Amino acid sequence: MTPTSERLFAAWRRDLSGWGVPEEILAAAPEPPWTFPNRVFAERAERQAVQRAEPSYRRAEEVLPPGGSVLDVGSGAGAASLPLATKASLITAVDPDPGMLRALADLAARTPAGARVETVAGRWPDVAAGVPTADVVVCHHVLYNVMDLRPFVEALTAHARARVVVEMTDHHPLEPMSPLWLRFHGLARPSGPSAAEAAEAVSSLGVEVGVERWGAPPLHTYESFEEMVAYHRRRLCLPADADPDIGAALQEMGVDPDHPVGLGAGRPLVTLWWAPPARGGTGR
């Protein structure tokens, strides 16, 4: 790794580590703050399996041969890969949450497509050695959870015959919650890292990265305002009696209780894509 590449990946780690929750706040949390309703991911995957219109889908579909294979890393319920099921013959989904993999398999069974789905429970790149290569590797909304980005990305690239397609928010997905952390804990959140920093770091590994920013509907919606409040309460490591204050804060931030969508609605998403070095370029 060149000095420039080393510096870029170190900067990613440094900036991302700033999003950690201080130990004293975690210790006082009445319940784990990292849970998210699996239903939200399943509904998004089902919606995208039908729509098949977003830039990340197009960048994957345009190089996927008929009857080709797709590897979905950090698959969740399959929002990145199931839209490709009408063209692919095999989808391999990797995710550390067996419940998400079951949701993906259930949704695949209800999707009018012929692709066979295989699942691998585990963390990437820990399980990469046991996962087959694929024509296209997709990885949506995972990179901000990856502290050690270089081996993660290198394993993505090594498993792709034609292209890697990554989707992520322009800035950290929890950035819209920063005013809540400041309000309830007096804790200032970082400003980085960003998709631009990810693209620069990946480029330093000798691949040409394509970048497309685009508008998108909110990533997450909630069944009720109460569900949204409860989610943010858990994230903030607060007790249930804080719900009225959290609800008031969310409304002050523009949330409509009758239409509770994720904070940061309207923020751009970013699609990154690249070909393995043997082919060069962005695979276009």
Q: Where are the domains of the chain?
A: 3-26+35-172+192-221+264-274
**CATH superfamily to which 3-26+35-172+192-221+264-274 belongs:** Vaccinia Virus protein VP39 (3.40.50.150)
Q: How far apart are CA 75 and CA 69, in angstroms?
A: 15
Check whether 283 has a pLDDT greater than 90: no
Q: Write down the pLDDT at residue 3.
A: 79
Q: How far apart are CA 252 and CA 120, in angstroms?
A: 42
For 44-94, write each residue's pLDDT tens digit.
555 554 555 689 999 999 999 999 999 999 999 999 999 999 999 999 999
Cβ neighbourhood burial of 32 (10 Å; 0-12, 13-18, 19+): exposed
Q: How far apart are CA 88 and CA 70, in angstroms?
A: 7
Nearest Cα neighbor of 162 from 66, 82, 95 is 66
For 233-247, write each residue's pLDDT tens digit.
999 999 999 999 999
Q: What is the pTM of this model?
A: 0.89
Q: How far apart are CA 4 and CA 7, in angstroms?
A: 5
Mean pLDDT of 245-270: 90
Q: Write down the pLDDT at residue 110.
A: 83
